[in-house]
Amino acid sequence: MKTLIKYIIGKGSLKKAGRLKGVIGSAFKKEKYSVLLDTTNGCNLRCTFCTRNNDKIVRMKTEELDLIFGKIGKHISAMQVSCAWEYSIAKNAPEIVRTVGKYKIPSTTIYTNGNILTDEIAEALVDARLNDFVVSIGEAKKETYEKLRKGGKFERVLANIRKLDGLKRERKSRFPRICSNLTVVNSNIDELVDFVDLAHSLGIERIIGRHLILNKGLDMDNEKVRDKARANSILDIAEKKAADYGISFSIPKYEDEQKPKHCRAPWTQLYISSNGDVSVCPRIHLYAKIGNLLTDSFKNIINSSAMADLRRQFDERSFSNPVCGICMDNLETELAIDQGF
């Protein structure tokens, strides 16, 4: 510090001041990314609106996750675990949760279908003080939930949410905040207002959702919400009821005309799959791999020719994969896409 002060106040030129600026800039500048992580590439459910299906499941080892965090930990601004797959199917799920927690990442989220929540996982979630635990549920009736989320058990999910809420109360912990995440379709839109009541009874503090994304190979046309005015009216009522309960509510309204998106994923986001492969989005990771964090350095991945090419595609809005163009035009609810899961 004394040397730095002497350098600042001592005799020198503008050239020296310029060098000082470079030294300070190098010392404090760190590239920060929102990181999406899948520690498995399998799932215990077969949801009707999901195309994910793998014959060979790869589960990330705890020591592999430690290795990855050692390379990128200081570059993470936010972390989401489980993006395209289900983390809880792995035996080391509690260890994964605790490993994420020990790195003191500013914002941490875990997504799950909620059908598996052992006592060990629940305790790890509370001990690790992760910010959000997001359960994929938006139905108020058993029949609807189990129709849409094949293999899932409605009562089991509710019991697991209650278990975590009870443990939080026992430990007098605010963490993790329990949230729900839903895909709005014809089958569940009429249950949304009732679901807000259910969410309140379960201790859910935030409801988030999205419109149905059409995936190639799935016949989901009958689940598309076509009466947008009616749907928006239901969303308004549900949002008001959520506000009365103190529940955060974030589900977009239906627009008559979709506006193009502005995506900066190659500059702000990384996706890491369970085998260490890196892309910038889970939806294109099979089409646009930029490296592997089990074998490559963070610097080499960020500065790779693959990353440079991907950034060029986004700058020019001309893509070599079948997903980004439709997504950027905001037409994924109208045109079926072939996601790279």
Q: What is the pLDDT along the chain (341 residues), one digit of tens a residue?
A: 444 444 344 544 444 444 444 444 433 457 899 999 999 999 999 999 887 767 789 999 999 999 999 999 999 999 999 998 999 999 999 999 999 999 999 999 999 999 999 999 999 999 999 999 999 999 999 999 999 999 999 999 999 999 999 999 999 999 999 999 999 999 999 999 999 999 999 999 999 999 999 999 888 989 999 999 999 999 999 999 999 999 999 999 999 888 999 999 999 999 999 999 999 999 999 999 999 999 999 999 999 999 999 999 999 999 999 999 999 999 999 999 998 77
Residue 239's pLDDT is what?
98
Question: β-strand 33-37 against 269-272: which pairing, if any?
Answer: parallel
Residue 29's pLDDT is what?
52
d(CA 35, CA 272): 8
Residue 186's pLDDT is what?
97
Q: Is the pTM of this model over 0.85?
A: yes
Of the candidates 84, 80, 86, the one whose C-alpha atom is nearest the C-alpha of residue 110 is 80
d(CA 37, CA 276): 9
Residue 237's pLDDT is what?
98
**Which bin fits 217, alpha (ψ -120 to 50), beta or left (φ > 0)?**
left
SS3 299: helix
For residues 57 and 91, the answer to whether their CB atoms sit within 8 Å is: no
Beta bridge partners of 291: 278
Residue 25's pLDDT is what?
40
3-state helix, strand, coil in the chain (%, to 5): 45, 15, 40
Phi, psi dihedral angles at 250 (to 5 degrees): -140, 85
Residue 24's pLDDT is what?
40
